[in-house]
Chain A
Amino acid sequence: MNDDNVLVSAGDLTKVYTTGTLEVPALRGVTMDVRQGEFLSIVGPSGSGKTTLLNLIGALDSITGGQLRVLGRDMRGLSRRQRADLRLTSIGFVFQAYNLVPVLTARENVEFVLELQGAGSERARRAHEVLEDLGLGEYADRRPLEMSGGQQQRVAVARAVASKPRLIVADEPTANLDGENAEILLRMMRRLNAEHGTTFILSTHDPRVVAHTRRVVTLVDGRVHEDREQTPRDVDTALN
């Protein structure tokens, strides 16, 4: 595999949270690569460092030690503004819940991100296109409270992909969804992965999510405990 295809490269990555005099290590030396087009899940028990790793990859937080390159950028020296620029242009986010702006409609939530990117008159068309593409056209003018949790989460995915990012990080995206909605969401993500080559990194406790992913990285106590590939047959077997 060509190194140009590596979107994320972590080497002995550490993250320590400091609360007063107390230091809490969240990551204790994570080494892993994520390549273009992967659909991988990061699993592990609570407190294993899944969300911390996603926050670092998503340029939401600064690293404490080791190395991390995301989309060719060395994350060690990036300022807050540079990290914000990187997120805005190249990374999409899907969070566990409460992730849409409640006072905006589905279409406006999608348009908002495009507006932040400086998109002009084409943003309304693009928002409409994405929502239609993901089967959410009929919800375009609804506000989050007028939609189910599953519909909200699908709009959140639409928002994340609207700006055509190369990488999408999703933190426990199915945690608040029932089985049917989780399945719809995951199939939608897989379709985006397959059709557009968008790279997805999902943190999860949910075996349904794991079953959809080709690669599973297991974190335990801030370290990579296991990093295994699943063949398409494994995935199909698990899903059926």
Chain B
Amino acid sequence: MIGRISAKYAFRSLGRHPRRTVLSILGVGIGCALGMIAVAYYGGAAEMQIRAACESGTGHLRIVPDGWTETQENSLRLTDWQAALAAARKTPHLKSAAVRARVNGLLAFGNRTAGVEVLGVLPNVEREANRIVAKSELEGRYLQPGDRGAVVIGKALARRLDVELDDDLMVTLSGQDEMRSAMWRIVGILATGSREIDESICHVLLEELNEVSGFDAAGEIALLLDDHEFIEPAREYLDERLGQRNTVITWKQINRAVAANIEGDTAFINLMSAIVVLVVILGITSAQLAAVLERRKEFAILTAVGLKARHLTGVLMLEALLTGVAGAVAAMLLGGPVAYWIATEGINIGEFFGGEFAMEGVLFDPIIYGDFGPWIILYALSVSVAGTLAAMIYPAWFAVRTNPADALRTV
């Protein structure tokens, strides 16, 4: 326990060399601010990527037929999909539950053809759950309930087939037991800005797809939650209610590249932050060791009058704590405005990609907004204080090992 006079001693000792103390605080503050900005930016970027992946049709969770994870076969269908949908709709923190089916097919117009994955949807839910529908430019209109024989395709696909609104497409599907064909009229052309995604969009009503293909069930239910933090509880909830008949998977199992990208970014930024903090710690250690060496005789005299190792360590650690708190304030003053600017103005990475960009069928936002909130205070305090305390360990160890008689004789 540090007494009042000891606390004064620690506090005032910081004022002995104001420039050194200010530089130490600035060193801690700048290092901590850099870490804070990086964590805020990458935290926001990770959030954005997760949101984009989940809202691009994947959902936070997806209920798929048993065996789908291994084969990703579009002909598999959910067992008792209506019961699964009923369970899905009761999932805590559910935003939407989109029922879909996929069938492999071939679109043809004149002498042009294109292989596609036809997606059967419930249009009202899809508009709410899928940013590819909600955020894209739409020529014509999107599907409506009862829209039999209507199809919405992507702009790149339309160009490839050289079609426009109201053209009739010949579709051939891998039906349940044979190849099936139909004619669909183009009622809408979606333009996401991503050629990769625009080449893959082919939406029809779920009932239309089932009727043409001969399947009579849904192939998947994509669940969008209020936040990705609710994934695990929601998954446990569904696992308990679905039993062994269907499988619940997360967005990470579908968008593996995006998940790996986020994990890689997180590991990289953690490593960079650790390196910055380590360099700062070494710098502060050097400064603190110099300060301890300068006060070696003083410590010897205080030891002579009764200052014990535990007490001396406490005094030095209190000095480190004060430096750390001041460093945290400096970090918030230096890094806070930058983090706030990134959180409110965002960084337009779309400029680097020439507009919208996509990966694995995920439509990403062009502007990344950083993460900003009360966590910044906690981050600055914990990193700064932990850093300065760690930096003081060696100087404190050196100080308490000093033999007072040696110090008095040699200094």
State the A residues within 8 Å of B (CB): 51, 55, 58, 60-61, 80-81, 84, 87-89, 92-93, 95, 98-99, 101-104, 108, 111-113, 115-117, 159-160
Contacts and interface: CB of A to CB of B under 8 A. Distances in A.
B303 A84 contact: yes
Contacts of A101: 9, 298, 302
Task: Classify the secondary structure of A's interface with B.
Answer: helix
A89 B303 CA distance: 13
A104 B405 contact: no
A95 B301 contact: yes
B408 A60 contact: yes
12 contacts: A51-B408, A55-B408, A58-B304, A60-B408, A81-B309, A84-B303, A95-B304, A103-B8, A103-B12, A104-B5, A112-B5, A115-B4
B304 A115 contact: no
Contacts of A104: 5, 8-9, 12
B307 interface: yes
A116 B297 contact: no
B86 interface: no
A145 to B, nearest CB: 11
B306 interface: yes
Contacts of B6: 112, 115
A61 B405 contact: yes
Interface of B is mostly: helix
Contact of B306 (A80, A88, A103, A111): A88
Given A55-B405, A115-B6, A84 B298 contact: no
Given A55-B405, A84-B303, A93-B301, A103 B15 contact: yes
Contacts of A108: 5, 8-9
Contacts of B5: 104, 108, 111-112, 115
Contact of B304 (A93, A102, A103, A111): A93
A156 to B, nearest CB: 9
A84 B308 contact: yes
B82 interface: no
A93 B8 contact: no
A60 B304 contact: yes
Contacts of A88: 305-306, 308
Contacts of B408: 51, 55, 60, 95
Contacts of B307: 84, 116
A221 to B, nearest CB: 18
A99 B302 CA distance: 9
Nearest to A58: B304
B409 interface: yes
Contacts of A102: 16, 298
A168 to B, nearest CB: 11
Nearest to B10: A103
B124 interface: no
Contacts of B309: 80-81, 84
B13 interface: yes
